[in-house]
Amino acid sequence: MKTGQGLPDVSEADVVLIGAGIMSATLGMMLKELQPDLRITVLERLDEAAAESSDAWNNAGTGHAAFCELNYTPEKADGTIDTSKAVSIAESFEISRQFWAYLIQEDHIKIPENFIRSIPHMSFVWGDANVEFLKKRHAALTKCHLFEGMEYSEDCEQLKSWIPLVMEGRDLLEKVAATRMDLGTDVNFGALTRCMFEQLSKMEGVQLHFGYDVRRLKQRPDNRWSVRVRHRETRVNHKVRANFVFIGAGGGALPLLLKSGIPEGKGFGGFPVSGQWLKCTNPDVVEQHQAKVYGKASVGSPPMSVPHLDTRFINGKRELLFGPYAGFTTKFLKNGSFFDLPLSLKVNNLHPMLSAGVKNMPLTQYLINQVRQSPDERVEALRQYYPEARGEDWKLEVAGQRVQVIKKGPKGGGVLEFGTEIVAGADGSLAALLGASPGASTAVSIMISLLDRCFPEKMQSEAWQKKLKEMIPSYGESLAKDAELLRKVRSWTSEVLGLQNTVRNEV
């Protein structure tokens, strides 16, 4: 991968992308398709792309389509199920699939053969209340054609055929239920990201620079941005001037947003949450499980900690993971500094941070309990999903960092957010992406929203509108409202991406 010849003392660009993860890769590819003559400079602090949140070991890897994630369908006070977020996420993932299929079909990128695979997405619960919730959830979701084909079962024999490890050794008197969606996927976002950057590095006007820390962002009198960076090895400083800056640095985005000084960034804070997995080391056990099985999160736990027994494909090898187990650290990045959290505290965000902390004491207690867990306690948690699990078949692996967004609430206090949020300057010359799940899976939709906010005139131009329709055939239309359009684009993307496009019991 071409990484440029090293930065000159001062260089010029139209666009600077900070962070070489899935978000910057997606935005870079979209911008070069929309306007090929753009000069783009990518700045990454590590020595390779996708080494933090986008890496396969640091990312859940689920093509988040809301098929199995129960936290996307909360139960309302009146007992009904709110499906709005699930529908939105499902549609967003279909949009991502279209863009990936376009890039492959147009021979713009050479995607590794198995960057995306079909794997059933399942939800599994036990206990009368949870079973009733899952049954209502299934009924509510299947009213929308995005979830057509989702199966529901309380039959133990049926569940044994779907998820033998989960049912083996389980008390048959215990009430259990599961849903299954065969159209689910496993995505290696690290492989996808590196592939897109490989293509970007070959394009005219694009420079990738690794090993550079962004030290300062300052808006000049002409409204352009001056980005001061330092090479991590040589310690030499450089400047890059650009019309537009995107901060897509994962957990590192918040400190950089605060450095920019834009008024829109004031009051934002971040709460770092680390993660760990139990990885199965017994190939015989790995082969017995073929699904992503999600359960319900513990009371007070963050959505990223929803437990799941997860079939993964990483570096060409089939893996079986359980977790994640949450933890607390003051680092904002896996390769970050323990000073990240204290240095992010500012006068304008201290009150929201403290307020959010007081309001979320159950989360704090949950993290303390997670940190204190012994190896035996971790295996005991695994046995809720795999009753016959043996501790010697599993080892602990460190996963990635997530920084949950804290922002000012309507009454001046702090609100802890669990999604993703774009923070952009009023003039559209700088934008940052904060937050975590379901980020990677919905990257294309997120970047379309960013383009709408930061490039409004160009987005309304005939040239960009036409190109967007080529890249994303459903652009400007609702897949949630148009069943025939969904059928067409899902059939096309499934063929190009090599995915299953039928549901069980369907001819």
* Distance separating alpha carbons of residues 271 and 359, to the nearest angstrom: 13
pLDDT more than 70, % of the chain: 85
Q: How far apart are CA 432 and CA 253, in angstroms?
A: 6
pLDDT of residue 472 exceeding 70: yes
d(CA 241, CA 10): 7
Does 302 have pLDDT greater than 60?
no
Residue 370: its pLDDT value, please?
A: 63
Residue 465: band (very low, low, confident or very high) from pLDDT cuts 50, 70, 90: very high
Q: How far apart are the first and last CA of the chain?
A: 45
- CB within 8 Å of 1: residues ≥ 6 apart: 49, 194, 197, 198, 201, 208
What average pLDDT does this structure show over 298-327?
Answer: 79
Percent of the chain predicted with pLDDT > 90:
64
Per-residue pLDDT, 372: 64
What does the DSSP 8-state code read for residue 291? S
Instruction: Identify the weakest region by mean pLDDT among 225-229, 302-306, 453-457.
Output: 302-306
Please classify residue 131 by burial: count the beta carbons closer than 10 Å to its beta carbon, then call 0-12 exposed, 13-18 middle and 19+ buried: middle
Q: What pLDDT does 506 receive? A: 39
- Looking at residue 85, its amino acid is K
pLDDT for the residue numbered 502: 65
β-bridge partners, 475: none
In this prediction, residue 383 has a pLDDT band, given cuts at 50, 70 and 90, of very high
Beta-carbon neighbour count of residue 94 at 10 Å? 22
Calculate mean pLDDT across residues 185-214: 94
> Is the pLDDT at 389 greater than 50, yes or no?
yes
Average pLDDT, integer, range 404-427 = 75
- With bands split at pLDDT 50, 70 and 90, how would you rate the model's confidence at 113? low
**Per-range mean pLDDT, top range of 293-302, 357-366, 459-468:** 459-468
pLDDT of residue 505: 42
* pLDDT value of position 350: 64
- Measured torsion, CA atoms of residues 223, 42, 440, 183, in degrees rounded to the nearest 10: 120
d(CA 475, CA 103): 16
Task: Assess whether the previous peptide bond of 324 is cis (omega < 30° from 0).
Answer: yes
- Per-residue 3-state assignment (H helix, E strand, C coil) for 365-418: HHHHHHHCCCHHHHHHHHHCCCCCCCHHHEEEEEEEEEEEEEEECCCCCEEEEC
Upper half-sphere CA count for residue 500 (Cβ side, 13 Å): 16
Average pLDDT over residues 367-392: 84
Residue 363 tokens, joined: 């989360």
8 A C-beta contact, residue 94 and residue 474: yes
pLDDT score at 416: 62
Q: Above 50 in pLDDT, residue 2?
A: no
- Average pLDDT, integer, range 268-285: 86
Instruction: Say yes or no to pLDDT of 211 above 80.
Output: yes
Mean pLDDT, range 160-184, rounded to an integer: 95
Q: What is the pLDDT of residues 233-248, one digit of tens each?
A: 999 999 999 999 999 9
pLDDT at 507: 28
Element (DSSP H or E) covering residue 191: helix 189-201
What's the whole-number mean pLDDT along residues 187-195?
Answer: 92
pLDDT digits (tens, 9 = 90+) for 19-66: 999 999 999 999 999 999 999 999 999 999 988 877 777 777 788 899
Lowest mean pLDDT among 159-163, 325-329, 478-482: 325-329
Residue 368's pLDDT band, with cuts at 50, 70 and 90, is: low
Q: Rounded mean pLDDT of 367-390? A: 83
Q: Are 87 and 483 in contact (CB under 8 A)?
A: no
Q: What's the mean per-residue pLDDT of the chain?
A: 87
User: Does 485 have pLDDT greater than 70?
Assistant: yes
In angstroms, rounded to a whole number, what is the distance separating the alpha carbons of residues 304 and 455?
A: 32
Burial of 392 (0-12, 13-18, 19+ CB in 10 A): exposed
Pairing assessment for the beta strands 121-126 and 292-294 based on DSSP bridges: parallel
Q: Are 103 and 96 in contact (CB under 8 A)?
A: no
More confident residue, 436 or 394: 394
**Residue 109: per-residue pLDDT:** 80
Residue 204: which residues within 8 A CB-CB, separation 6 or more?
36
What local confidence, expressed as pLDDT, does residue 3 receive?
Answer: 56
Instruction: Check residue 304 and give its pLDDT.
Output: 56
- Which of 109, 105, 120, 108 lies closest to 163, judged by CA? 120
The pLDDT assigned to 30 comes to 98
Q: Residue 448 corresponds to which amino acid? A: I
Q: Within a 10 A sphere around the Cβ of 187, how many other Cβ atoms?
A: 28
What integer is the mean pLDDT of 285-308?
81
Range with lowest mean pLDDT among 234-243, 294-303, 460-469: 294-303
Residue range 83-104: mean pLDDT, rounded: 96
Which pLDDT belongs to residue 275? 77
**pLDDT above 90 for 167:** yes
What's the distance, CA 238 to chain centroid?
31
pLDDT for 414 equals 66
The DSSP line for 118-159 is E--EEEEEESHHHHHHHHHHHHHHTTSGGGTT-EEE--HHHH
Q: Which residues are CB-contacts of 73 (< 8 A; sequence separation ≥ 6)?
A: 66, 81, 82, 83, 85, 86, 137, 140, 141
Instruction: Please state the length of the chain.
Output: 507
Burial group, residue 342, by CB count within 10 angstroms (0-12, 13-18, 19+): exposed
Q: Determine which of 140-144, 265-269, 297-301, 374-378 has the lowest per-residue pLDDT on average.
A: 297-301
Whose tokens are 């090929």? That residue is: 36
**What is the average per-residue pLDDT within 201-219?**
95
pLDDT of residue 54: 78
- Which of residues 349 and 286 earns the better pLDDT score? 286
- Residue bearing the bigger pLDDT, 4 or 275: 275
